[in-house]
Chain A
Amino acid sequence: MYKIFFTFFLSILLLHNSSTFAVEGNKLIPPSDFQAFDTPDDDGKSISLRWPSSPTESAEVEYVVYASLRKDGPFITEALRINSNTMYEEGSDSNLHYVEIKPEKFFSKKSDVTGGRSDYFFKLVMMSNPENVEVKKIASAAPEGNWFNWKKLNNFIIMIAFSALVLLFIEHAKKNPNLYLRKISGLDAIDDALGRATEMGKPVLFVHGLNGMGSISTIAAVNILGKIAIRVAEYDTTLKVSNIDPIVLSVSQEVVKESYLEAGRPDAYVEDNVFMAASEQFPYVAAVSGIMIREKTAANFFMGYFYAESLILAETGASTGAIQIAATDSYTQLPFFITTCDYTLIGEELYAASAYLSREPLLLGSLRAQDVAKGIIITALVLGAVLATIGVGFISFIFKAS
């Protein structure tokens, strides 16, 4: 028994030592291939390099790529240095390395131009101090710009399909102008809020969000402002519009002025009532809160994209007893508005407001298209969840973002 145990122990020791000797005795084995090619779907400034993994990769071993403008070198410009067990190609199960490099970073001016293409040459070296081995193959490629990003093809198709859907429903709405639209309480309450302000003889305050005219929510807010301004002019009450962005200010002034004109009350328009309150977030809060408290506004409208100031503004308004209607697509601020305002338009309702208030068939048609698109997405989500559960994952690739 003692001999058996001793033999077993010795054999394990020998096996361990022999395997240690085998690793130490290994030379670096360079990758079997090395490819360079133009990076697909890019602006023409990048070259992709790909090579298979080597069995002797480890944290102590590095890959270094040298670049040159000529095939015969010299290869002295270091374009890349990475640990050998990093930068694997996605989906290759660590069998391939993939990197993108921008030759412009290393070569300020291209001197070797042949046949209209400017080739760059690359040499791959595997380094482990003191041993270096290089891949014999010199890879070359010329970067070229692409006119379509094929990784965004799914996005492009969905965009075209949705645009077609919107146009289709707009055409449909022209023929059938009486489209059903679900009730949006917040928009129905606008007239009540304006009526209350008129009865009380107090002003109406319209507060723009913090984003500029480049934001869809600001454009939607301006659209609502136009409708509110018409009603305010008809009711002969005062409308104050606070702005944080000078371009939004200019657009708002123009919109309110035109609305007063359309209502037949151009004389009632006061330029100073559409004003720049401040240009930064918290000074804006201080200015608008001050107006609410000093002037005891009867109705407050918070429309657009808001940040941390939303609760301060809405809570100040609530403390003055004003009717408050908020509309924002900022989901982080929605709970604050729902808590403190009488009515809150959630997300897309902000965009739908213009169509809802005007009841113009063309605008209503696009709302119907939105609902259909949502139906399609919900169907895809449910179908995708079911298919993914049973192991079919192709639907997730259809909606994959590049």
Chain B
Amino acid sequence: MNFFKRTIPLTIAFIMGVMMAFQYYVPHEASQSLLKVVTRWGITIAGFAVFIGVYSLFHLHWNKIKRKVPGWGYSTFVFFGAGITIIFGLYNGGEFFLNDKQEGTMFDWMYFNVQVPAGATMFSILAFFMASAAYRTFRARTGEATILLIAAVIVMLGRVPVGALIWEYLPPLADWIMSVPNMAAKRGILIGVSIGAIATSLRIIFGIERAYLGGGD
């Protein structure tokens, strides 16, 4: 059992990891074809994995309905929404699912008039949360918070026309904050992230990091 759960996955990780690392340096057509094939495998696996996701979602909400947990009525909307989407998707504007996807069907209508506005509504909440988070952060209780507050005020005012009216040096000062201290911090984080990502990749390729297989190390 350990052979199937440990040895084979670790061997695959090693072979594919080394192969794809070297593939980056080989521009030959054979190498590019290999990349295409592996990418296609990924897409195919992801396609099948959708069924696992759908099963998990349905199973979770079906159990909620069955056990009548508080708020179980909301779970019925999962089946209702999924049901009509699947029906209109398969109906495909009268052309049915064996033909290419048709434009302007009920399926599209539901996407553009239900899902997109609902997503936009969630996104719009961000503006309010940003204000509340900013209020909490900008209470200048510590030295760092004070610096953050001053920098934020300069950048915010420097990015709007009224900033230049208040003080002509505000826009260039805001640009300087963004392009020098902000950029320096960003690049510092990026260098750390890149080295960390390479080290993590090597740990996985050489089988040192095994926690992703489950069951600790």
Instruction: Identify the A interface with B (CB < 8 A).
Output: 41-45, 145-149, 152, 155-156, 159, 162-163, 166-167, 170, 212, 214, 216, 219-220, 222-223, 226-227, 230, 243, 245-247, 249-251, 254-259, 261-262, 271-272, 275-276, 279-283, 285-286, 294, 308, 311-312, 315-316, 329, 331, 334, 336, 339-340, 346-348, 350-352, 354, 358, 360, 362-363, 366-367, 369-370, 373-374, 377
| In the assembled complex, B42 has its CB within 8 A of some CB on chain A | yes
A170/B29 in contact, CB under 8 A: no
Write 10 A-B pairs (CB below 8 A) sorted by A numbering: A44-B29, A149-B27, A249-B53, A271-B59, A279-B53, A282-B120, A285-B122, A316-B129, A339-B133, A347-B193
A358 to B209, CA, bound (A): 11
Q: How many Å from the CB of A56 to the closest CB on chain B?
A: 37
| In the assembled complex, B94 has its CB within 8 A of some CB on chain A | no
B136/A369 in contact, CB under 8 A: no
Q: How many Å from the CB of A219 to the closest CB on chain B?
A: 5
A216, A262, A294, A308: the one within 8 Å of B71 (CB): A294
Query: What's the A-B contact tally at a CB cutoff of 8 Å?
Result: 213
> Contacts of B212 on A, CB cut-off 8 Å?
219, 222-223, 226, 251, 255
Q: A159-B21, A367-B199 are in contact. Are A261 and B215 (CB under 8 A)?
A: yes
> Contacts of B215 on A, CB cut-off 8 Å?
226, 255, 258-259, 261-262
Q: A149-B25, A250-B52 are in contact. Are A311 and B198 (CB under 8 A)?
A: no
Q: How many Å from the CB of B216 to the closest CB on chain A?
A: 5
| In the assembled complex, B98 has its CB within 8 A of some CB on chain A | no
Q: How many Å from the CB of B169 to the closest CB on chain A?
A: 25
> Contacts of B179 on A, CB cut-off 8 Å?
none
| In the assembled complex, B180 has its CB within 8 A of some CB on chain A | no
As a 0/1 sequence over residues 40 to 68 of chain B, the CB contacts with chain A under 8 angstroms (1 = contact) are 00100110011111101101100100000
B contact residues, range: 35 or more
Q: How many Å from the CB of A67 to the closest CB on chain B?
A: 21
> Contacts of B133 on A, CB cut-off 8 Å?
311, 315, 336, 339-340
| In the assembled complex, B123 has its CB within 8 A of some CB on chain A | yes
B21, B27, B59, B211: the one within 8 Å of A223 (CB): B211
Q: How many Å from the CB of A297 to the closest CB on chain B?
A: 15
A170, A282, A360, A373: the one within 8 Å of B195 (CB): A373
B208/A170 in contact, CB under 8 A: yes
Q: How many Å from the CB of B180 to the closest CB on chain A?
A: 14
> Contacts of A148 on B, CB cut-off 8 Å?
25-27
B42/A214 in contact, CB under 8 A: yes
A275/B60 in contact, CB under 8 A: yes
- Which applies to chain B's interface (DSSP): helix, strand, loop or mixed? helix
Q: A42-B27, A250-B52 are in contact. Are A311 and B130 (CB under 8 A)?
A: yes
> Contacts of A315 on B, CB cut-off 8 Å?
129, 132-133
B199/A166 in contact, CB under 8 A: yes
B49, B118, B216: the one within 8 Å of A247 (CB): B49
- B102-110, B159-167, B170-178, B183-191: which lies at the interface: B183-191
B122/A369 in contact, CB under 8 A: no
> Contacts of A377 on B, CB cut-off 8 Å?
191, 195
| Chain A residue, CB-CB nearest to B215 | A258
> Contacts of B71 on A, CB cut-off 8 Å?
294
B191/A282 in contact, CB under 8 A: no
6 shortest A-B CB distances, which residue pairs?
A258-B214, A246-B53, A348-B196, A258-B215, A351-B196, A282-B119
A250, A276, A294, A369: the one within 8 Å of B199 (CB): A369
| In the assembled complex, B1 has its CB within 8 A of some CB on chain A | no
A281 to B196, CA, bound (A): 26
A226 to B21, CA, bound (A): 27
A373 to B197, CA, bound (A): 12
> Contacts of B199 on A, CB cut-off 8 Å?
166, 351, 366-367, 369-370, 373
Q: How many Å from the CB of B29 to the closest CB on chain A?
A: 5
B27/A219 in contact, CB under 8 A: no
B197/A216 in contact, CB under 8 A: yes
> Contacts of A222 on B, CB cut-off 8 Å?
211-212
> Contacts of A369 on B, CB cut-off 8 Å?
199
B27/A146 in contact, CB under 8 A: yes
A370 to B199, CA, bound (A): 7
A193 to B78, CA, bound (A): 32
Q: How many Å from the CB of B140 to the closest CB on chain A?
A: 14
